[in-house]
Chains A and B, each alone.
Chain A
């Protein structure tokens, strides 16, 4: 009884925070002057322009997921499996870009290449100007988004490697050298995870609007925005956002079907055994230099240039003055959402794994869909659903923002925890059940401790994603209660470059501190 109640409650929260708002938007997209009509959808591809934009979006997403995959996996191998020095520090540095809102990365790279930028000290002017002319458009968008999303395949590789049964590699090492072992044994075993990471990057890129628009590369997501911003036509704006959501959803669904088939691959590992480490031997210093150079080029340099243009410390005082409260709020919202989502994600993961309620598949699919739909649609849907006199307490309080985060990032927590649950043998719960433990105490005292790592990872992941969220926060934040990314975003229009840079630095530091503390906890385990 408690079990059904809890699982249904979790499903209902997802329903009210995400499904209902999006449904209300879809409903309005099917109405034209009060009648059912598909004209909004029939008009989506009314001109050649839309096709070109769609092509641009797909090109961008494809290139970025390709680059991040082919760079992220080797990096993951190097940092997760070899004896390369300073691997912790290097991984943390390479992760910085994903922790901050993407347009800040775009700004900082721009800063770097700009006429007053840091690179001016190293590069001749003509190189700089040709670089910065290539920066605008596809090239820059690919560069920035690749930098931003590189950590996804990289981190996933690192963590998946730790889950490979060491004996599988050892068995192969008896006859083969490392390169062959990696190619034929290790990588194929973690392949489902790698494909998921590529798809995740693809979906995130499709929905990305701020970076391409900053770098003047026209993508499809601009269409929905025009409808929202120029004509204020919710119906057609929602319709315009559907094609990308459908592409994203199809990919995610294909992935989830595929990964289910491959499930038998994940052999639960015997606890305590460690996977073999690759000794790099002579190439160790060279590879270290290579990775450091990469980290310097794509992370440190842009950050330095941000820092460089905000060197004036009075600016920092000013930044803290104008954004200190926004920063506190950001942490608070992210903290609430992450905590709530750890619980919801756990319950949903349990639902999905055990097919515990009849709509388990629906829970999984809708959370995927909510991740894929543009934030604007979800945000406005939230307003439409929750802004009425009876639910005033939700809409006029921070609950609405938490709801938005819950709907948006539910899939991250449920998937991360799900992958952990799959590693736990069902007999664990069954044994406790035979011993007479009720469902609640089985969850609390058996499954939760066993999946602690997954829950913590999910918490952190959601926390960071909420902390950097712009698109949902921008639309639903209660008046006077904006978050730091929103504040930076709105101040960026005509704000002084020094102030913007220092706000960005503030954002970077405030995200890095919790991230590195958790990093420390994870590795010291």
Chain B
């Protein structure tokens, strides 16, 4: 009984300590000064957080972040931004692909801002009116098991009889795979794209839940090759798994490799516009691109002449698929019903 009295006192003290600690850590000091910037992030926290920390260190501006994860198909950040439209809380949105940014632009949530650091980034990766700007990109690549003799060279190999039942792709309802399919629709035209998707079904292409899983399935030899993001492939290569990365459709007449840049967006009605612009400038700087290239996400810099690790090809050595991301975004919403049917449990 005596013991439990002490336990109770200890508990009380603990709670009091927690209470005060919590209060201190969560009071929003100086909410409206430019000493703080609120950023919503869709890029994986493991990669984005260190960059934001560096920004804090360099500028003394406190970064308050809300993270999200694509891997888990989390719905957090984008839906927040949309729900908060009438009273925005975020200043900056760091998206891991341009399509989401385009959606924000269309919903009237983004504000235009042309950063001086973006001048040397190709116009393909920027919104014409400056609503979003791309940086460090992933490529959509083929990952193949080294044991396999012949090498797939094109995404159309997914539909070729040679590879029947030996390929896997992530569920096109989610993530970059959705964008990729939408991009194909804009490049090939509806008719050919539909035919291509149907032929995937006929060719018994397996469907996994994520690109990461696809990469693992190829690494373990369960499937011969897959279409994944370059970071998934580089990751497996660095782990020493028996896989190879192939940039697809590179020949002169090939449709090219689909590039998915990170994208940064200024939010309309941001509370800290000045700090927000500084953060955007920072993210668009070559030093950030270099960091992201050497990090495990292995992203391809969009600035020319940024140092990169050996596994990566510089952008100008890649035949890039020529797409208009604005159109891709529109197409993506348009083909949703089709995709849902297509991905339906067959």
Q: Which chain A residues have a beta carbon within 8 Å of chain B's beta carbons?
A: 47-49, 52-53, 210, 213-214, 216, 218, 222, 225-226, 228-232, 234, 325, 328-329, 331-333, 335-336, 376, 380, 383-384, 387-389, 392, 395-398, 474-475, 477-482, 486-487, 489-496, 517, 520-521, 524
Contacts and interface: CB of A to CB of B under 8 A. Distances in A.
A490 B73 contact: no
A-B residue pairs, 4 tightest by C-beta: A332-B22, A480-B64, A49-B344, A479-B64
B4 interface: yes
Contacts of B70: 493
Given A489-B72, A493-B46, A387 B22 contact: no
Interface in B291-345: 296-297, 333, 336, 340-341, 344-345
A482 B208 CA distance: 30
Nearest to A521: B4
Nearest to B220: A115
B84 A387 contact: yes
B195 interface: no
A47 B4 contact: no
Most buried by B among A380, A479, A524: A479
Nearest to A388: B87
Interface string B102-131: 010001000000000000000000000000
A388 B88 CA distance: 9
A493 B44 contact: yes
B19 interface: yes
Contact of B80 (A383, A397, A398, A487): A383
A474 B15 CA distance: 24
Interface in B141-195: 173-174, 178
A475 B344 contact: no
A332 B21 contact: yes
B222 to A, nearest CB: 10
Contacts of B231: 494
28 contacts: A47-B340, A48-B345, A210-B72, A216-B213, A225-B73, A228-B79, A229-B79, A231-B336, A232-B79, A232-B82, A234-B83, A328-B22, A328-B25, A329-B26, A376-B75, A380-B80, A387-B83, A396-B31, A478-B26, A479-B66, A480-B63, A480-B64, A481-B64, A493-B45, A494-B44, A494-B71, A494-B231, A521-B4
B72 A49 contact: no
Contacts of A226: 73, 173-174, 340
Interface in B1-17: 1, 4, 7-8, 11, 15
A475 B76 contact: yes
Contact of A48 (B90, B297, B344): B344
Interface residues of B, number: 66
A49 B63 contact: no
B89 A335 contact: no
A194 B39 CA distance: 47
Contacts of B15: 335
Contacts of B46: 491, 493-496
A475 B81 CA distance: 11
B199 interface: no
B276 interface: no
Contacts of B84: 383, 387
Interface string B184-216: 000000000000000000000000110011000
Given A52-B344, A388-B87, 18 more contacts: A47-B341, A48-B344, A213-B72, A226-B340, A228-B75, A228-B79, A229-B78, A234-B79, A335-B15, A335-B18, A376-B79, A383-B83, A396-B31, A479-B38, A486-B67, A489-B74, A490-B68, A521-B8
Nearest to A53: B345
Contact of A492 (B1, B23, B68, B69): B69
A329 B21 CA distance: 8
Contacts, number: 174
B71 A492 contact: yes
A329 B26 CA distance: 8
Interface string B242-261: 00000000000000000000
A478 B66 CA distance: 8
B235 interface: yes
Contact of B209 (A53, A216, A396, A517): A216
A402 to B, nearest CB: 11
B87 to A, nearest CB: 5
A232 B78 contact: yes
A453 to B, nearest CB: 15
A481 B29 CA distance: 13
A490 B18 contact: no
A509 B246 CA distance: 45
A230 B174 contact: yes
A230 B175 CA distance: 8
A89 B44 CA distance: 39
Contact of B174 (A48, A229, A380): A229
Contacts of B67: 482, 486, 490
B28 interface: yes
Contacts of A489: 69, 72, 74
A388 B23 CA distance: 23
Given A47-B340, A383-B80, A479 B26 contact: no
Nearest to B213: A216
B4 A218 contact: no
B336 A493 contact: no
Given A332-B18, A492-B72, A494-B71, A520 B7 contact: yes
Contact of A397 (B21, B28, B71, B83): B28
A474 B235 contact: no
A490 B45 contact: yes
B7 A521 contact: yes
B83 A335 contact: no
A388 B40 CA distance: 19
Contact of A494 (B83, B296, B341): B296
B315 to A, nearest CB: 22
Nearest to B3: A524
A520 B4 contact: yes
Nearest to B45: A490
Contacts of A231: 333, 336
Contacts of A48: 344-345
B58 interface: no
A231 B90 CA distance: 21
Contacts of A395: 87, 89
A398 B26 contact: yes
A55 to B, nearest CB: 10
Nearest to A473: B76
B168 to A, nearest CB: 12
Nearest to A226: B173
Nearest to B73: A229
Contacts of A478: 26, 28, 64
A481 B21 CA distance: 13
Contacts of A383: 80, 83-84
A329 B80 CA distance: 21
Contacts of B68: 490
Contact of A479 (B8, B90, B209, B212): B90
A29 B72 CA distance: 25
Contacts of B31: 396
B285 to A, nearest CB: 23
Contacts of B297: 494
Given A231-B333, A234-B83, A490-B45, A225 B75 contact: yes
A82 B18 CA distance: 39
B16 to A, nearest CB: 10
Contacts of A521: 4, 7-8
A475 B72 contact: no
Contacts of A210: 72
Given A213-B72, A383-B80, A517 B340 contact: no
B51 interface: no
